[in-house]
Chains A and B, each alone.
Chain A
Amino acid sequence: MNKNIILYAAILIFGLAAPFIFPAFKVQLSILCVLIVLALTWNIQGGEMGYNTFGNILFYGLGMYLCASVQVGMFFPLAEWTESGGEKTFVHTPEQFFQGMAMGLVVAAVVPTIVAGLIGYSILGLRGHYFAICTLGLGVAAGEISGGIEIIGAGQGFTTPPFPDVGSLEARGEFFYFLSFMAVVLTFITVKSIYSTRFKLILNAIRDNEDKAEAMGIQTMKYKIIGWMISAFFCGLAGGIMGGLVGYIDSTDVAFDGREMGVFMVLMAILGGKGTLWGPVIGATVFHIFKEGFWTFFLGWQYVALGVLIVVIVIYFPEGIMGWLREKYPERFGEVVDEADRKAQVELK
């Protein structure tokens, strides 16, 4: 237990100090935080519950639009803000900006949760690949449809309120960094605490054999919906933060960005190891470093690399980093292994 506290304290201190140690990387680190949140929430579905969704992007995009709309709509008429590509300029005072942001984030988290609850019964009744394709369709449909709605900017996009002039040049980066870091901490604590309850075991039971779980008297549907709602809550929150960070919302490219974010969250969770607590965190970090380190210098080849990466991970590395570590060093994960048995297994292979 002692060691755990040291670990978490170290991470917390690192997280709080990071923007001051690496001031140039603030935005990168904020994006990393958002990615971690997304990977962690995807893991609740895909990893623990066995419902591989491509549709969490729906909540992310919804949160993004809602946060920006509330932030604007609280003080100014939203329709005029977005009219003809956002030509009119309204300026938020610092108080208005922060109040709007706070309120916006609350709405961005709560409304997707409610939406998840409402559609959950219909969608989560689907099994396996039908569920996967259906959620893929949901995400794409949401993007296409929101791109036709005038009040949120339609095809012209939605420029979120610019950060007010407070403090130095660094203030904006720091604000968004701490916001997203807080989101990570909140998500992690929530996920960790639910993973130590009976709830997680139920989710795992659903993953392993849903019919049996049902036969044992578990109301699987109820738990599936709750699990999805938890995901939706944090996805919406992450979307709201990302919207403010990017500053410009486009329906298919930024908000309902299924082709990038929607795939990335799946990939990160699988890369790190699905069905583990730390896997998504590690997966997201490795992925982001890989992406920012090499990606930008590929000048076009990055998508080729991404395609190959997906295929290779899925075929040769489906257990992810944590799964690989667990196989290699099972004793470190608190598993007792009979040495003779292991050797026998290796020989068999």
Chain B
Amino acid sequence: MDFLIFQVPMLTLQATLDGVLLGILFALIAYGMALQWGVMNIINIAQGDLVILGGYIAYFMYLWGIHPAWGVIVSPFIMYFVGVGIYKLVINKVVDRDLFISILATFGISILFMQLMNFAFGADVVLANSGYGTTMLFDNSVTLPNSKIFSAFISIIFAIGLVIYMKKSKLGRAIRATAQNARAAKILGVDTEKVYAATFGINAALCGVAGALISITFTIHPYMGLPYTIRSFMIVIVAGLGNLPGVAMSGMGLGVFEEFADYILGTEFRIGSVFLLLVLILVYRRFKLSRKREYLK
């Protein structure tokens, strides 16, 4: 336990700002998960691995001398097709089945991806240098790397863009219709198969954006996916499906929680505290629901 953070007010501010910027990034990944969960009732354990794969795309652009920020444009394009490919190969066979089947199947995909990325890119930790500087506040006592601000900004743009797309475009309306009632949508002439593929593709594309941003701000590594999956799962169950402001809020909340846990408990318990928080939230939710059930009785 370390309470230095409360003794130095600048550290509290630093942690909060770091947490919020980080949380916006988490929220973007979580938004993708909420989308596919809501539309096709699939929990994708490989979500985090898609993020890391997106990160590698940006990293390779960086290696070839292109500024990694362009990865934000290129990576979602490639990832969209990766997502559609995964859907055609695996996901379409588990869409109507038990949820546990989809969890296990995507777990398999996750292991497969981790290892293929290990072969393709090596197990080295890599990062793409954006060369963006640092914003310093309060006489250098609070620092905000511009790359983090950039990431948060891009995440917000993509999220807003997607919301508008969902509202206005034909495909977006078809996706929303399918989420509401797949059978009714089918009867009314929506090609649900196509909608599912597109949904999974869009989810993968969002992961691609997030991955590119992570490779600019942090480091990437083939085996780092699972914590991102768990985080996005957690954000989604706290916020509920199809509640974008909620996803953004709980994303930022999680980010701030993590930063504070980092300072107070020590960095070694960071991942542990995220997973523990997940358990606590689920248990809390269970008691809340069961009270509701009793009330109904």
A residues lining the B interface (CB < 8 Å): 52, 122-123, 125-126, 128-130, 132-134, 136-138, 140-141, 143-145, 147-148, 155, 263, 266, 270, 300-301, 303-304, 306-311, 314-315, 318
Contact = CB atoms under 8 A, between A and B. Distances in A.
Given A314-B94, A315-B93, A304 B116 contact: yes
Q: Which 3 A-B pairs have the closest CB atoms?
A: A307-B112, A310-B108, A144-B272
A309 B108 contact: yes
B269 A148 contact: yes
Nearest to B267: A148
B104 A314 contact: yes
A134 B275 CA distance: 9
B268 A133 contact: no
Interface stretch (B7-15, B141-149, B282-290): B282-290
Given A300-B119, A309-B108, A141 B100 contact: no
B111 A310 contact: yes
Interface in B81-115: 90, 93-94, 99-101, 103-105, 107-115
Contacts of A133: 43, 103, 230, 233, 278, 282
A314 B275 contact: no
Contacts, number: 124
Interface residues of B, number: 42
Interface of A (DSSP majority class): helix
27 contacts: A122-B286, A129-B100, A130-B286, A132-B99, A133-B43, A134-B279, A137-B275, A138-B275, A141-B278, A144-B275, A148-B266, A148-B269, A270-B104, A303-B112, A303-B115, A304-B115, A304-B116, A304-B119, A306-B112, A307-B109, A307-B115, A308-B108, A310-B107, A310-B111, A311-B105, A311-B109, A315-B93
A165 B99 CA distance: 52
Contact of A147 (B237, B268, B276): B268
Interface of B: 43, 90, 93-94, 99-101, 103-105, 107-116, 118-119, 226, 230, 233, 237, 266, 268-269, 271-273, 275-276, 278-279, 282-283, 285-287, 290
A284 to B, nearest CB: 17
Contact of B43 (A123, A129, A140, A314): A129
A306 B114 CA distance: 11
B281 to A, nearest CB: 9
B271 A144 contact: yes
B277 to A, nearest CB: 9
A306 to B, nearest CB: 6
A132 B226 CA distance: 15
B105 A123 contact: no
Contacts of B109: 307, 311
Nearest to A126: B286
A122 B108 CA distance: 29
Contacts of B114: 303
